[in-house]
Amino acid sequence: MQIYASRTAFVALIVGYLLYTRNFNALAYASLAGTVMPITDAFLAYRAAAADIVVFKHIATVIYLLVAYYILTRAADGSVVDSE
């Protein structure tokens, strides 16, 4: 379990740094690349005859990441109003 915690901490630090530096372009592509895991998890859960809610949870994660990608790409090219 500690291995997963260290991986999560590493990813969190990178994402935190990208947020801090306002590198929205890199964050957008990270969210797009992140869709691979919940897509695979949804497929595996479906094949294993998991409860529908488990599959829907993974699908909801994919939708969230795609929305994040859309918003972050808009922020990267300046389409979103800056608060400063």
Compute the distance between CA of residue 75 and CA of residue 69 in angstroms, rounded to an integer. Answer: 10
pLDDT score of 79? 76
Measured between alpha carbons, how far is residue 47 from residues 37, 40, 55, 56 in Å? 15, 11, 10, 13
pLDDT score of 81? 57
* CB proximity list for 18: less than 8 A, separation 6 or greater: 26, 27, 30
* CB proximity list for 28: less than 8 A, separation 6 or greater: 68, 69, 72, 73, 75, 76
The secondary structure element, H or E, covering residue 37 is: helix 36-47
Across the chain, which has 84 residues, the per-10-residue mean pLDDT values are 79 94 95 95 96 96 96 87 58
pLDDT score of 68? 96
Look up the pTM and report it: 0.81
